[in-house]
Structure 1
Amino acid sequence: MSGTTGGTGQEARPSNWNLPNALTTLRIVLVPFFGAALLIDGGDSAVWRTVAYVIFAVAMITDKIDGDIARARNLVTDFGKIADPIADKAMTGMALIALAIIGDVWWWVAIVVLVREWSVTLLRLSIAKRVVLAAKDLGKLKTTVQVLSLGALTLPLRDPDLPAVLDVPGEVLFYVAQVLLAAAVALTLWSGWEFFRDVWKQRDSLSGPRPPRP
């Protein structure tokens, strides 16, 4: 009877109270703490920017871990399907907004990426029960490049209070992160176009069965 409910032969649904969902919830809880740490002293505190980076890194690592655990242990739940992308977009969105406030990211970049990310996420969630659109390699590459760039920009790379020996490496890494961010923006727009194109191709599935002709 393992894996069935009531002898009907249907697989038992995993409980929402599981480790992957706990890690997802942790990521959501960490978002305001990350933003606050990054914005302390207007982003001029090397210590707090390092703390913000650690929070960001923990969030991104747990994103990978909770997904692997959920798939390996068959703990994928409706809550997880909704909360996981929200947690990811909330953390990266907070990074973009905070870095734009500090001046390390242009506002137009933050707005373009946020509009794309949230429009895709909300549309994906709204059609999840009718159409399954698997994550593509381009989207995964976009996420990786985005996380690397935002993580690097969170660090105090150009802080004047840091040892002089770190000035050149910090400046180089800052511009490398900016190049990665530019690549992330391009990938974000391209993968977003692919997503909306695929949704359009499956518009018949979204609209439901057509009535029979008289």
Structure 2
Amino acid sequence: MTARREDPAPSIVPAPTAPPASDSPAPLFNIANILTILRIVLVPVFLVVLFVGDGHSTVWRLAATGVFAVAAITDRIDGQLARKYGLVTDFGKLADPIADKALIGAALVGLSILGDLPWWVTLVIATRELGITLLRFAVLRHAVIPAGKGGKLKTLLQALAIGVFLLPLPDAALPFGWVLMGAAVILTVVTGLDYVVQAVRLRTGVSRAESTAGPEE
């Protein structure tokens, strides 16, 4: 009588586990930051194209509008990519609004030099943008305050208004441009005040934390 052969017990294979999530920071040299740098590089290109000839040639104004539009679109794309793929960096938080200000400021100054936009509009917006940029650097050692939704909307309105003034449109289209520019100026001032409040709160919070901290042993 032969012994019954028993089948070996099935081996238990552990289920594969997902790799642990990486906590490493996003690389500095990523597509979002590259687009931000590209926007800065396009600023002098835009100015050169804008001032070809007398600055009012239909062909060159269309070309300048195209360069401006490409640069402005990168602002939308780089932010989406940074948030979607976890590419947010301190460099991007700081450089992105600076790139916006450089592009918008160059367009406003260029239009004012050509006589297409009153200087008071350029001065109001430029003063706000320069002041906020200096304020960003002033609080940089405490924290980087990224541009909020209001700041992004402000930039969008500015870009749309500038686009209308750049295009060789008939005079009948100017009222539409002024509606956009007026809304952009108002939002520029309001968001600037909001940023000042944020910076003051941040600095006040840091000062209180330092004053309540005990002496180091």
**Is the structural similarity TM-score above 0.5?**
yes
In the TM superposition, what is the alpha-carbon distance from 1:141 to its structure 2 partner?
2.8
Question: Does the CA-based 8 Å contact 1:37-1:48 persist in structure 2?
Answer: yes
Q: Deviations over 1:113-157 (max 9, x none)?
A: 111012113312432452464644433332221111011111112
Matches within 5 A, 1:23-172: 23-128=35-140, 130-131=142-143, 133=145, 135-157=147-169, 170-172=170-172
Does the CA contact (< 8 Å) of 2:75 and 2:100 recur in 1? yes
Unaligned segments of structure 1, at least 5 residues: 5-10, 158-169
C-alpha RMSD of the superposition: 2.3
Q: Which runs of 5+ in 2 are unaligned?
A: 1-18
| CA gap 1:19/1:137 in 2 versus in 1, 3 angstroms | closer
How many residue pairs match? The answer is 196
Identity of aligned residues (%): 44
| Conserved? CA contact 1:145–1:180, under 8 Å | yes
Which has more helix, going by share of residues?
1
Bigger Rg, which one: 2
- Per-residue CA distance 1:38-85 (angstroms, 9 max, x = gap): 122232111111011111111111111111111111111222222211
Tell me what 2:201 maps to.
201
TM-score normalised per structure 2? 0.81
Q: CA deviation at 1:13?
A: 1.7
C-alpha spacing 1:65/1:113, structure 2 compared with 1 (3 Å): same
Q: Which amino acid aligns with 2:98?
A: I
**Which of 4, 26, 35 in structure 2 is aligned with 1:14?**
26
* Stretch moving more, 78-87 or 119-128: 119-128
Spell out, residue by residue over 1:84-120, the C-alpha distance to the aligned partner (whole angstroms, 9 max, x if none): 1111110000000000001111112111111101211
